[in-house]
């Protein structure tokens, strides 16, 4: 097979071999069946374990197909994501004293999947289910930067909601790329004047963005005098989003 990459080919053979057997198999059997030296077979199996396609039984050391492979074509269930995120979102709201929103990509919009009120007793409306524009929200820009599906949104419309909304493709690309590099974004009045937000991605399986977590609030409670986010806010948002990401891997 000209041009084929041997290690990928071998990995595919290992997966087919494991998939054909109903019971976990020891390393020796894999090496023998594939006519490979044990260290080579071991290297392939270790790598496949790391990406979740193969699992090794703890007691026996035998190998079997992992769930990562059968779930490859499935999107993460949004309500599973919400249920894993609830405690972290609550903690983030308690510590920052800001409103917390968790968003996912739905069509060409952000869908608010989870919402925690700003804990100050003020009257607030539950925003779960609300659709927000991708280019004008911190949640949306984070999803554009990290979600594989968002990269294909070439026909995204960019209406102006305020003078600060990025309305040209160049402006939007710049902020998306900066978000990708830094791992978070600050928006200042891009959807509603006087409202600012900081968002960070929730990632699943080697870094793929499945959602975004944001704190949202009045400008002066999010942004310091110099125009940067107030001390600690970025760290809190990123730490909560990362904790949710880790918690997702735990269970799946």
Partner 1 sequence: MRAYVAAIDQGTTSTRCLIFDHHGRMVSVAQHEHAQHYPQPGWAEHDAAEIWRNTLRVLPEALADAGLSADDLAAVGIANQRETTVVWDRTTGRPLARAITWQDTRTADLVEDLNRGPHADLFREVCGLTPAGYFAAPRLRWLLDHVPGLERRARSGEIAFGTMESWLIWNLTGGPDGGVHVTDVTNASRTLLMDIRTLDWDQRLLDALDIPRELLPEVRPNAQVYGECVVGLPGVPIGGAFGDQQAALFGQTCFEAGEAKCTYGTGAFLLMNTGDQIPTSEHGLISTVAYALEGQAPVYATEGSIAVAGALVQWFRDSLEMIRSAPEIETLARRVEDNGGCYIVPAFAGLFAPRWQPDARGVVVGLTSYVTRSHLARAVLEATAWQTAEVVEAMAADTGINFARLKVDGGMTANHLLMQSVADVLAVPVERPLVAESVSLGAAYAAGLAVGYWPDLQGLRDNWHRAAVWEPAMSDALRRRERAAWDRAVERTLHWVHDDDVAR
- Which positions touch partner 1 (CB under 8 A)? 77-80, 82-83, 86-87, 90-91, 93-95, 114-117, 119-121, 124, 126, 128-129, 251
Supply the minimum distance, in Å, between the C-beta of residue 80 and partner 1. Answer: 4
By C-beta, is 187 or 245 nearer to partner 1? 245
Supply the minimum distance, in Å, between the C-beta of residue 82 and partner 1. Answer: 6
By C-beta, is 111 or 200 nearer to partner 1? 111
By C-beta, is 114 or 135 nearer to partner 1? 114
Distance from C-alpha of 201 to C-alpha of 214, rounded to nearest angstrom: 9
Supply the minimum distance, in Å, between the C-beta of residue 129 and partner 1. Answer: 8
Supply the minimum distance, in Å, between the C-beta of residue 1 and partner 1. Answer: 37
Supply the minimum distance, in Å, between the C-beta of residue 114 and partner 1. Answer: 8
Q: Are 93 and 115 in contact (CB under 8 A)?
A: no
By C-beta, is 154 or 251 nearer to partner 1? 251
Q: Are 212 and 201 in contact (CB under 8 A)?
A: yes
Residue of 98, 84, 104, 107 whose CA lies nearest to 242 = 84
Q: Residue 154: CB partners within 8 Å, gap ≥ 6?
A: none
Supply the minimum distance, in Å, between the C-beta of residue 100 and partner 1. Answer: 9
Q: Where are the beta strands (DSSP E) in the chain?
A: 54-56, 63-65, 99-106, 109-116, 131-133, 185-188, 195-204, 208-218
Order of strands, sheet of 185-188, starting from the edge strand that comes earlier in the sequence: 131-133, 109-116, 99-106, 208-218, 195-204, 185-188
Q: Are 72 and 63 in contact (CB under 8 A)?
A: no
By C-beta, is 9 or 77 nearer to partner 1? 77
By residue count, the chain amounts to 252
Residue of 111, 96, 102, 109 whose CA lies nearest to 84 = 102
By C-beta, is 116 or 139 nearer to partner 1? 116
């Amino acid at each position: 097979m000209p041009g084929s990459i041997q290690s990928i080919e071998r990995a595919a053979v290992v997966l087919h071999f494991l998939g054909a057997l109903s019971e976990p198999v020891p390393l020796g059997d894999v090496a023998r069946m594939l006519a490979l030296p044990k260290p080579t077979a071991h290297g392939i199996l270790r790598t496949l374990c790391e990406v979740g396609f193969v699992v090794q039984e703890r007691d026996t050391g035998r190998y079997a197909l992992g769930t990562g492979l059968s779930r490859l074509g499935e999107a993460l269930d949004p309500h599973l994501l919400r249920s894993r995120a609830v405690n972290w979102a609550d903690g983030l709201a308690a510590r920052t004293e800001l409103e917390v929103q968790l968003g996912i990509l739905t069509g060409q919009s952000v869908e608010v999947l989870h919402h925690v009120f700003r804990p100050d007793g003020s009257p607030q409306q539950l925003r779960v289910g609300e659709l927000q524009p991708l280019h004008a929200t911190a949640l949306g820009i984070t999803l554009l930067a990290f979600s594989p599906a968002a990269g294909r949104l070439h026909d995204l419309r960019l209406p102006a909601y305020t003078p600060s909304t990025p309305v040209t493709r160049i402006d939007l690309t710049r902020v998306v790329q900066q978000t990708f590099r830094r791992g978070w974004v600050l928006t200042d009045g891009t959807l509603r004047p006087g409202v600012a937000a900081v968002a960070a991605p929730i990632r699943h399986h080697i870094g793929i963005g499945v959602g975004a977590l944001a704190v949202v609030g009045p400008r002066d409670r999010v942004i310091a005098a110099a125009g940067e986010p107030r001390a600690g806010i970025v760290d809190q948002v990123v730490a909560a989003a990362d904790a949710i990401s880790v918690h997702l891997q735990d269970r799946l």
